[in-house]
Amino acid sequence: MTCTGQGLCAELLPELIDLDEWGSPILKDRAVPDQLRTHARRAVAVCPRLALHSGRGRP
Ligand code: SF4
């Protein structure tokens, strides 16, 4: 599905996700540090459009 640009993921994972001027997420880094893995999984899980992926399938 397509991101609707409401920014929930960036609120949950500001360390790795910025929003562009339209509210679409921009990854700062594709590598997720170990200490942020739980937060990253949560951001993937709560995306209402199923637009985020962890790279290893959905959590
Ligand atoms: S949570 Fe999902 S729909 Fe919302 S901005 Fe992030 S990727 Fe887009």
Q: What is the pLDDT of residues 2-39, one digit of tens each?
A: 899 889 999 999 999 999 999 999 999 889 999 999 99
Decide whether any atom of ligand 1 lies within 6 Å of the 52 Cβ.
yes
Q: Which atom of ligand 1 is nearest to the CA of 46?
A: 1
Residue range(s) defining the domain that contains residue 25: 1-59
CA distance 20 to 26: 7
Phi-psi region of 14 (alpha: psi -120 to 50; beta: other; left: phi over 0): alpha
The number of residues in the chain equals: 59
Q: Which amino acid, one-letter code, is at 49?
A: R
DSSP conformational letter for 16:
T
In the chain, the number of structural domains is 1
Q: Is the pTM of this model over 0.75?
A: yes
Q: What is the CATH number of the domain that holds 17?
A: 3.30.70.20
- Average confidence (pLDDT) over 34-57: 89
Residue 32 and residue 56 in contact, taking contact as beta carbons nearer than 8 Å: no
Residue 14 Cα to ligand 1 midpoint, Å, equals: 13
